[in-house]
Chain A
Amino acid sequence: ETGVTQSPTHLIKTRGQQVTLRCSSQSGHNTVSWYQQALGQGPQFIFQYYREEENGRGNFPPRFSGLQFPNYSSELNVNALELDDSALYLCASSLGGFEQFFGPGTRLTVL
């Protein structure tokens, strides 16, 4: 059984650019959640996808968007990057909502 994977591991972008982060859910998991973790803080919920539809969103602006594909993998897109978007982006998958399992994360640096 494969766990949650994310790509890329690290990414450096400049302010104003756009970025796409990818996540493959654990085998059999149909729900993917994305979190942003700034340095020294706890993860903050961005949004969740369930069966290719957005299923809840945290307090993030519309320039944060996502997709989920039929194989339940997911993308997080961030447009018009700002310096404050520098963070660890974590993807988590779950089945039935009882417990979620996190991927290794993508470290995004915005210069």
Chain B
Amino acid sequence: ELKVEQNPLFLSMQEGKNYTIYCNYSTTSDRLYWYRQDPGKSLESLFVLLSNGAVKQEGRLMASLDTKARLSTLHITAAVHDLSATYFCAVAGSNAGKSTFGDGTTLTVKP
């Protein structure tokens, strides 16, 4: 059974600081996804990582994938308040619609 673990589960940061969220998964999978969820809202797709060594960046967020270590990271650079949200990683085979999600990392960015 595929298991996906994120850490930390809760993260409080000051604006301007850098931090990394980790996502470990238990079995070989084809794809790794990162999503953002604001309170009471649905999930917004951030990144799709397809292969070992894949790196994608959007604004202050950068995601990477190491399939050999079964590890993905989401790095936050110079955090701003607008990044406060819950971030989920999810792992899937060839079908994104059958994803297994981690429990999420709730990020709070304070002034």
Contacts and interface: CB of A to CB of B under 8 A. Distances in A.
Interface of A: 31-33, 35, 40-45, 48, 56, 58, 90, 92, 94, 97-105
Interface stretch (B13-21, B66-74, B97-105): B97-105
B90 to A, nearest CB: 8
Majority SS at the chain A contact face: strand
Contacts of B103: 40-42
Interface stretch (B42-50, B53-61, B76-84): B42-50
Nearest to A90: B42
Contacts of A31: 97
Contacts of B88: 42-43
A31 B102 CA distance: 23
Contact of A94 (B44, B97, B100, B104): B97
Nearest to B33: A99
Given A48-B97, A94-B97, A97-B95, A42 B102 contact: yes
Interface string B23-53: 0000000000101000001111100100000
Contact of A97 (B44, B94, B100): B94
Contact of A48 (B43, B48, B95, B100): B95
Contacts of A90: 42-43
Contacts of A45: 98-100
Contacts of B96: 94, 97-100
Contacts of B94: 97
B95 A105 contact: no
B86 to A, nearest CB: 9
